[in-house]
Amino acid sequence: MSAPAQQEVTQLLIRLTDGDRAVLDELLPLIYGELRRVAAGYLRRESPGHTLQPTALVHEAYLRMVDQTQVRWQNRAHFLGVAAQMMRRILVDHARSRQAEKRGGALPKLSLDENIDVSDERAAELVALDEALKKLAEIDPEKSRLVELRFFGGLSVEETAEVLGVSAPTVKRHWRMAKAWLYGQVQPQ
């Protein structure tokens, strides 16, 4: 995305924060390609038979994000960072509900992402990684956020640095440390 387009997105997000809901029609076409790239990054890590398409994940996340009234959007990078986090939550929520169904579950729950098909093994891995990320967030929130952006969101080192407000070398260093820590957490003992 060009610098003028990035500035336009930032201006639209500021207007949205100020309560101007009319900007939504202008915002989605500008940010859609980037949101789809983030969604594709998430779904690349899912099982090959996964039925959810990046488009469905983008739409679910976008709908949840623009309904936020407490968020003060800072810029395009901030919006993409929140989008990555929202997409992760959608996939983890589905994996958890799939595991609950496997154990008997409760009454059927309906959601916009009910057609997601995650293998039982993949669902367990996703939930385990989510639990490990929660532990990491308690110890080091910045590294947890970095993993979320890089692994789940598929953001580059430079994009992650922009979202977090740090340098690219810092992202690389923290990425190595976070991966090593998470690997130790999710490996069977």
d(CA 189, CA 184): 9
Closest CA to 152 of 104, 80, 97, 75: 80
* The pLDDT of residue 117: 45
Radius of gyration of the chain measured on its C-alpha atoms: 17
| pLDDT recorded at residue 122 | 64
State the pTM of this model: 0.62
Which of these, 30, 32, 149, 16, lies nearest to 70 by C-alpha position? 16
Q: What is the mean pLDDT of each run of 10 residues along the chain (189 residues)?
A: 82 88 87 85 67 78 78 82 84 73 47 43 73 90 87 80 90 92 79
- DSSP annotation string for 92-113: HHHHHHHHHHHTT--S----TT
pLDDT for position 107: 40
pLDDT for res 113: 37
- At 111 the pLDDT is 37
DSSP 15: H
Spatial CB neighbours of 89, under 8 Å, sequence gap ≥ 6: none
pLDDT at position 171: 94
Residues with Cβ within 8 Å of residue 141, at least 6 apart in sequence:
none
Task: Read off the DSSP letter of residue 49.
Answer: T
What pLDDT does 50 receive? 57
What is the DSSP code (8-state) at residue 88?
Answer: H
